[in-house]
Amino acid sequence: DALGRAVGSGRSTIVKLEKGDLPLTDAWAKRLAPPLGVRPDQLLPAPQIPVIGYVGAGARVYPYEDSLGAGETMDRPPMTQGDLFAVEVRGDSMLPLAEEGWHIVYTAEATVDENMVMNRVCVVQLDDGDGSMLVKRVTRGTRPQHYHLLSLNAPTIEDARLRCAAVVKAIVPR
């Protein structure tokens, strides 16, 4: 009752908000935050990003069959911006960078702009006929538009051509 009075609303509205029967909008969060002694963003659910596949043996990315329609999501990591995707780590192919069950979050913006991807860990898609996707550090190759793809626990792939690369923005423990 006190919270309802503090925000100028009735008890039934507060109960509906608590139960999720009424959506907690930005406007409601701004009204409720002061009497609760929190910031409005602390009341809102964490934005979600889609988990579209997994990274397994050889640090290869395996998209889920219905990748964007699978419905699996995770909380957006703090301090990340823009459109993001995530893949789940399966097995030990990403050690010591990431463990089983962790998520690798990367930008949805795939590019071949060297200024964006050089010397960074990326989800890369090879221009190799079958479009293999891997998680690797991208460095300059010996020929123009060819790249060395480094791993912490596997041999370097030398002079690979990339279809595209997306920068890893976060690695999130489970």
What does the pLDDT read at residue 69?
45
CA distance 133 to 126: 6
Q: Is the dihedral of CA 110, 111, 117, 122 positive or negative?
A: positive
- Separation between Cα atoms, residue 130 and residue 85, nearest integer Å: 21
CA angle centred on 23, ends 66 and 8, rounded to 5°: 170
CA angle in degrees (0–180, nearest 5) for 72-120-110: 50
SS3 (DSSP) at 115: helix
Reading the chain (174 residues) residue by residue, the pLDDT tens digits are 788 899 999 889 989 988 889 888 889 989 999 999 998 888 888 889 999 888 876 667 888 765 454 578 999 998 888 999 999 998 887 888 899 999 999 999 988 898 999 999 999 999 988 878 889 999 999 999 999 999 888 889 999 999 999 999 999 998
User: Strand, coil or helix: what is 129?
Assistant: coil
Question: Residue 59 has what pLDDT?
Answer: 67
- CA 155 from chain centre, in angstroms, equals 26
| pLDDT, position 141 | 96
